[in-house]
Chains A and B, each alone.
Chain A
Amino acid sequence: MQQTGDTLSRGAKAPLFQEGVKPLLEMKRVTKRFGGIAALLDVDFSILAGEIHGLVGENGAGKSTLMKIIAGVHAGFEGEMLVSGAPVHFRSAGDALAAGIGMVHQELSVVPDLSVAENVFLGSQPLRMGGVVDWARMNRQAKAQIASLGLDIDPASRMGSLPVGLQQLVELSRVLFSGARIIILDEPTSALSPPEVERLFTVLRRLRGEGRSIIFISHFLDDVLEISDRVTVFRNGAKVITEATAGLTKDAVISHMIGRGSVDMHMGESAELSGDDSRKIVMEAQAVGDGHALRDVTLSLRQGEITGVYGFMGCGQIELSRALFGKVALKSGSLIMDGKRVRFHSTAQARAAGIAYVPESRRMMLFRTEPVYKNVSISILDRIGRLFLKPNAERSITEAHIKDLDIRPQKTDILLGNLSGGNQQKVALAKWLTHLPKVLILSEPTRGMDVGAKEDVIRILKSLRDRGVAVLVLSTEPETILTLADRVTVMKRGSVAREFTLGHIEKADLLAAA
Chain B
Amino acid sequence: MTATDAPPAKGGLKRFLAEQMRNIAPVFTLIALVVFFSTQSPVFFSVANGLNILANASITGIIAVGLTFVILTAEIDLSVAAIANAIGITMAFFTAQPDYVNIATIPLPGFIAILLTIAAALGLGSITAFGVTRIGIPSFIMTLAMMQIANGVSALLVRGQIAYIFPEFITTLGAGTIYGLRWSIIVCVLFFIVAHLVLTYTRFGRYVYMVGGNREAAEYSGVNVRLIIASVMVISAVCSGVAGMLGVAYFGSAQQNGFDDFLLTAIAAVVVGGTSLFGGRGGIGNTIIGLLVLGVLNNGLDLINIDSFLKILIRGLILLIALVINVYAQKLKESSG
Chain B residue nearest in CB terms to A327:
B219
Other-chain contact of B203, A35, A363, A387 (Cβ < 8 Å): A387
- B280 near A378 with CB under 8 A, answer no
Other-chain contact of A431, B201, B221, B227 (Cβ < 8 Å): B221
Residues on B with beta carbons closer than 8 Å to the beta carbon of A431: 221
Q: How far is the CB of A322 from chain B (nearest CB, A)?
A: 9
The reply on A369 being an interface residue by CB < 8 A is: yes
- A378 near B223 with CB under 8 A, answer yes
Residues on A with beta carbons closer than 8 Å to the beta carbon of B214: 363, 366-368
In the complex with contacts A369-B337, A413-B6, A415-B6, A348-B223 CB distance below 8 A: yes
Q: How far is the CB of A359 from chain B (nearest CB, A)?
A: 5
In the complex with contacts A348-B227, A413-B6, A417-B337, A389-B220 CB distance below 8 A: no
Residues on B with beta carbons closer than 8 Å to the beta carbon of A371: 6
The reply on A235 being an interface residue by CB < 8 A is: no
The reply on B109 being an interface residue by CB < 8 A is: no
Residues on A with beta carbons closer than 8 Å to the beta carbon of B159: none
Interface string of B308-337 (1 = CB under 8 A from A): 000000000000000000000000011001
The reply on B202 being an interface residue by CB < 8 A is: yes
Residues on B with beta carbons closer than 8 Å to the beta carbon of A332: none
Q: How far is the CB of B273 from chain A (nearest CB, A)?
A: 19
A371 to B337, CA, bound (A): 10
A368 to B213, CA, bound (A): 9
Interface range for B: 20 to 34
A386 to B222, CA, bound (A): 15
Chain A residue nearest in CB terms to B216:
A364
The reply on A339 being an interface residue by CB < 8 A is: no
- B9 near A415 with CB under 8 A, answer yes
- Beta-carbon contacts under 8 Å, B188-217 to A: 201-203, 205-207, 209-210, 213-214, 216-217
- A351 near B222 with CB under 8 A, answer yes
- A35 near B11 with CB under 8 A, answer yes
- A359 near B220 with CB under 8 A, answer yes
- Beta-carbon contacts under 8 Å, A65-94 to B: none
- A346 near B224 with CB under 8 A, answer yes
Interface string of A318-347 (1 = CB under 8 A from B): 000000010100000000000000000011
Q: How far is the CB of A381 from chain B (nearest CB, A)?
A: 5
Interface string of A370-385 (1 = CB under 8 A from B): 1100100011011001
Residues on A with beta carbons closer than 8 Å to the beta carbon of B281: 369
Residues on B with beta carbons closer than 8 Å to the beta carbon of A291: none
A43 to B279, CA, bound (A): 40
- A347 near B213 with CB under 8 A, answer no
Chain A residue nearest in CB terms to B281:
A369
In the complex with contacts A35-B15, A385-B203, A348-B217 CB distance below 8 A: no
A366 to B213, CA, bound (A): 10
- Beta-carbon contacts under 8 Å, A372-426 to B: 374, 378-379, 381-382, 385-389, 413-415, 417-418
Chain A residue nearest in CB terms to B214:
A367
Chain B residue nearest in CB terms to A417:
B337
Residues on A with beta carbons closer than 8 Å to the beta carbon of B206: 374, 378, 381, 389
The reply on A350 being an interface residue by CB < 8 A is: yes
Q: How far is the CB of A448 from chain B (nearest CB, A)?
A: 18
The reply on A17 being an interface residue by CB < 8 A is: no
Most buried by A among B202, B216, B219, B226: B219
Chain A residue nearest in CB terms to B228:
A348
Residues on B with beta carbons closer than 8 Å to the beta carbon of A36: 10-11
The reply on A114 being an interface residue by CB < 8 A is: no
A314 to B202, CA, bound (A): 41
Q: How far is the CB of A469 from chain B (nearest CB, A)?
A: 16
Other-chain contact of A370, B203, B213, B334 (Cβ < 8 Å): B213
- A348 near B213 with CB under 8 A, answer no
Q: How far is the CB of B98 from chain A (nearest CB, A)?
A: 46
Interface string of B276-294 (1 = CB under 8 A from A): 0000110000000000000
Interface string of A344-364 (1 = CB under 8 A from B): 001111111000110100011
- B11 near A379 with CB under 8 A, answer no
Residues on B with beta carbons closer than 8 Å to the beta carbon of A385: 203
Residues on B with beta carbons closer than 8 Å to the beta carbon of A368: 214, 337
Other-chain contact of B333, A350, A367, A369, A382 (Cβ < 8 Å): A369
Spell out B's residues near A (CB within 8 Å).
6-7, 9-11, 15, 201-203, 205-207, 209-210, 213-214, 216-227, 280-281, 333-334, 337
Q: Apart from A346-B224, A369-B213, A382-B203, what are 13 other A-B pairs with CB-CB below 8 Å?
A: A347-B224, A348-B223, A348-B227, A351-B221, A356-B222, A363-B217, A364-B216, A365-B216, A367-B214, A371-B6, A389-B206, A415-B6, A415-B9
**Can you give 10 A-B contacts (C-beta < 8 A)?**
A35-B11, A327-B220, A346-B226, A365-B216, A367-B213, A368-B337, A378-B206, A378-B223, A382-B203, A415-B6
Q: Closest 6 CB pairs between A and B?
A: A351-B222, A348-B224, A417-B337, A35-B11, A369-B337, A365-B220
